[in-house]
Structure 1
Amino acid sequence: MWSLIVAIVIGFIAGLIARAIHPGDDKAGFIVTTLLGIVGSLLATYGGRLLGLYPEGSSAGFIASVIGAIVVLFIYNLVVKKT
């Protein structure tokens, strides 16, 4: 349970950093950006566990969370631009 809370907090910060790093004109607001960061952090955490990079009960590191947030933000921008 604690690793989930840590992943959410790191994802909040990672979402803001991913927004600053990701190029382009994003129409997403603060709430959407932080939610995408949290999703990216959780994606990095559970994806890393699935690949065997992280042991059970630990969360992804900060850099992996930022990379996950950038990936989710990129996919979000692709989906939003097509609709």
Structure 2
Amino acid sequence: MGIISWIVFGLIAGAIAKFILPGKDPGGIIVTMIIGIVGGLLGGWISTALTGANAVSGFHVMSFVWAVIGSLILLLIYRAVFHRSHA
């Protein structure tokens, strides 16, 4: 898959992560998109580390699941860091 495909893939994963964890997040849609893209990369890295297989070799259901998991992790970290700094 090309870089544009992975960006779109990450954007969709970020939108699903935001749907799973709704609430007000600072930064709005731009931050959510960045979290989705980076979360997709994080999910691929976690999958490779845990399974030893390259999960980012193409589009399939498990690569999408790992991208959403990575986005959820980053969204939780982002919320924890932001809320702690303003509390």
Shorter-chain TM-score tier: 0.7 to 0.9
Structure 2 unmatched runs, 5+: none
Opposite residue 78 of structure 2, the aligned amino acid is Y
* TM-score, length basis structure 1: 0.79
Identity of matched residues, %? 40
Alignment of 1:41-60 (within 5 A): 41-55=40-54, 58=57
Q: Is the 8 A contact 1:3 1:58 kept in 2?
A: no
Q: Which residue of 2 aligns with 1:70?
A: 72
2:21 corresponds to = 22
* Structure 1: stretches of 5+ with no match in the other structure: none
Q: Could you tell me how far apart the structure 2 residues matched to 1:23 and 1:57 are?
A: 27
Contact 1:18 1:70 in 2 (8 A): yes
After TM superposition, the score normalised by the length of structure 2 is 0.76
User: Match of 2:34, as an amino acid?
Assistant: L
**SS in structure 1 opposite 2:24?**
coil
Pairwise CA RMSD of aligned residues? 2.3
Deviation at 1:61, TM superposition (A): 1.1
